[in-house]
Amino acid sequence: MSMHRTASRSRQRGLSFFGLIFVGLFAVAAFAIGGQSIPIFLEYVAAKKAIEKAKTESTVPAIRAAFDRAAAIDDINSLKGSDLEITKRGEKVVVSFKYAREIPLAGPAYLVYRFDGQTN
């Protein structure tokens, strides 16, 4: 009977203590990075909406001012009206933008998000 118990114990599966620690550290890192990334993506979505609204204005300074007003309301800090590139294609106004945001990870390591887009 003792031989049977030893054999069944060796066939058990599961996480070892070190495996559990590794999975826990990975989960904490994923939540920490995700928690810092969500506001960055929400800001990007808000900036896209503000640019779409602002492009309905008739002049370049008016478009920039409309974006700056929307940015102040929606707490958009990564992009200013002066950063917008405003061009005209035929009768259509096209507003494009480019910016980057960084999340410090550890020491000299950073996670960099680069955003660019334009209106249709």
Each as own residue / partner, the long-range contacts of residues 104-112 (CB below 8 Å, 24 or more positions apart, any chain) are 105/33, 111/33, 111/37
Domain count, the chain: 1
Beta bridge partners of 106: 109
Who contacts 70 (Cβ-Cβ below 8 Å, separation ≥6)?
A: 49, 50, 53, 54, 76
Where does the pLDDT of residue 8 fall: very low under 50, low under 70, confident under 90, or very high at 90 and above?
Answer: low
Q: What is the pLDDT of residue 36?
A: 93
3-state secondary structure of 97: strand
For the entire predicted model, the pTM comes to 0.77
Nearest to 86, CA basis, from 54, 113, 49:
54
- Give tens-digit pLDDT for 91-118: 899 999 999 999 998 899 999 999 999 9
Within a domain: residue 7? no
- As a whole number, mean pLDDT of residues 60-67 equals 96
Strands, E, within 1-120: which ranges? 85-89, 92-106, 109-118
Within a domain: residue 30? no
Q: The domain containing residue 62 runs over which residues? A: 39-120
- Between strands 85-89 and 109-118, the pairing is unpaired
Within a domain: residue 105? yes
CA distance 96 to 63: 12
Where does the pLDDT of residue 33 fall: very low under 50, low under 70, confident under 90, or very high at 90 and above?
Answer: very high
Where does the pLDDT of residue 13 fall: very low under 50, low under 70, confident under 90, or very high at 90 and above?
Answer: confident
Where does the pLDDT of residue 1 fall: very low under 50, low under 70, confident under 90, or very high at 90 and above?
Answer: low
- As a whole number, mean pLDDT of residues 1-19 equals 68
Within a domain: residue 18? no
Is there a contact between 81 and 64 (Cβ–Cβ < 8 Å)?
Answer: yes
Percent of the chain whose pLDDT exceeds 70: 90
Instruction: Decide if pLDDT at 3 tops 80.
Output: no
Within a domain: residue 22? no
Who contacts 57 (Cβ-Cβ below 8 Å, separation ≥6)?
A: 63, 65, 66
